[in-house]
Amino acid sequence: MANPYTKPLHLVRKRIVRWAEHGLMPAIERESAAQLIHHESRQKDWGVDLPDLPEHIQALYRVWQTDPDESWVRLYRGPATLDPVAGLVFVRGRVVWGSTDARPRVRERSPKWQVHWGGDHRRFDAVISLRSIFETNYFHYLNDVLPKLRLAEQLGLPESIPVVVSERLAACRFFADTVRLGFFGGRQVIVQGAREAIAAKEIYVPSDFDCDRVAYDWLCDRLGAGCHADKGGAIYVHRGASSPNRRGYRNEAEVFRLMARHGVRVVDPAEYSLAEQIDLFSRAGLVIGPHGAGLVNLLFRRGPGDLLELFNPNIGTPHYYLIARLRGLGYRWRYNLSPQGKENVASSEMDIAAVELALKELMG
């Protein structure tokens, strides 16, 4: 039987650590440490009326409507160091809280304090930080990490300034594929070790808009996604054994039979290179799949189409609805049945009857 006190004690410990870090450790205010060299804000055009989304997604949608939507680049002049955990900046050995790309309501992670105070750092005149809170998640990689380079280029930062990525991100197949596709051009990529602070006289920290059509078009052009005006085929995004979150279907055999009946191709994005995923989704006229990072590939579709998103109750965000909307795609959703396990990794059963009805309506 689980200890009922474990979670409260864990939360208390985190709050004590957070209090000590913010109240006792040497820090410097972001406004005095950084120069804001680029800033844009925009009014969300989501409208007042809520779209047809599950109730728990609507609740989050309401919150997001009130959050600021901003694109910015901050310059930190040294001596400065970049933390290995998620890219916090230290100036003269003092932490700058708020120096990551964390969006509203996302807590910055505790840094590795000791690596900034002494030791042999790799030193550069200037670097551009591509570090991000959730950088190894495929959705956040395409939505948050890569668009940072668009801002750097928009500001005319010379190609001689290298970019910094984490060791964990560099180990991801999709990052290696991005390099092979020539995404970074002649710009050097610095891989930051898990216990290494990178030192520089100047550190540029960019953060682009969330779910941005301009950034998505730039990514498509940069990564070679084609424009396909035809309706395209239908694909089902399968969460295979290598999926980082184990939200699989217990009635998987029935799911596969359903897709076969309607001529829907079953694909596991993890089995494809980045170039193959781009080509596959740029041609897909109908995408069906459970909520998860594989659906971010919808941004590569620049033609007519639809998304049918499948949710476990209490899990998910409006991101894929927003991407579908930006891409001019139709959007529908259905709930999964009988989730079992912790919410973020719960298995479930596809509602075969409900999904089949939706497929008949969408495919004619």
pLDDT at 100: 97
pLDDT at 49: 63
Q: Which amino acid does the sequence have at 66?
A: T
Helices (H), 262-313: 274-282
pLDDT at 323: 95
132: helix, coil or strand? coil
CATH number of 224-363: 3.40.50
pLDDT at 2: 43
* 335 phi, psi to nearest 5 deg: -85, 145
Would you say 87 and 136 are in contact if contact means Cβ atoms under 8 Å apart? no
DSSP letter string over 107-127?
Answer: PPPPP-GGGGSSS---EEEEE
Give per-residue burial for 103-136: e unless 16+ CB within 10 Å, then b: eeeeebebbeeebbeeeebeebebbbbbbbbbbb
In this structure, what token pair is assigned to residue 296? 């971010």
Give per-residue burial for 201-229: e unless 16+ CB within 10 Å, then b: ebbbbbbbbbbbeebbebbbebbebeebe
129: helix, coil or strand? strand
Would you say 269 and 242 are in contact if contact means Cβ atoms under 8 Å apart? no
Q: Can you give the residue ranges of every domain in the chain?
A: 22-47+69-222, 224-363
Q: What is the pLDDT of residues 275-305, one digit of tens each?
A: 999 999 999 999 999 999 999 999 999 999 9
Would you say 280 and 297 are in contact if contact means Cβ atoms under 8 Å apart? yes
CA-to-CA distance for 131 and 112, rounded, in angstroms? 15
Q: What is the pLDDT of residues 187-227, one digit of tens each?
A: 999 999 999 999 999 999 999 999 999 999 999 999 999 99
CA-to-CA distance for 74 and 204, rounded, in angstroms? 6
C-alpha gyration radius of the chain: 22
Cβ burial of 356 (10 Å; 0-12, 13-18, 19+) is: middle
pLDDT at 120: 86
Question: Low-confidence residues of the chain, pLDDT below 70?
Answer: 1-7, 10, 45-50, 242, 244-245
pLDDT at 66: 85
pLDDT at 65: 83
CA-nearest of 66, 215, 75 to 154 is 215
Cβ burial of 322 (10 Å; 0-12, 13-18, 19+) is: buried
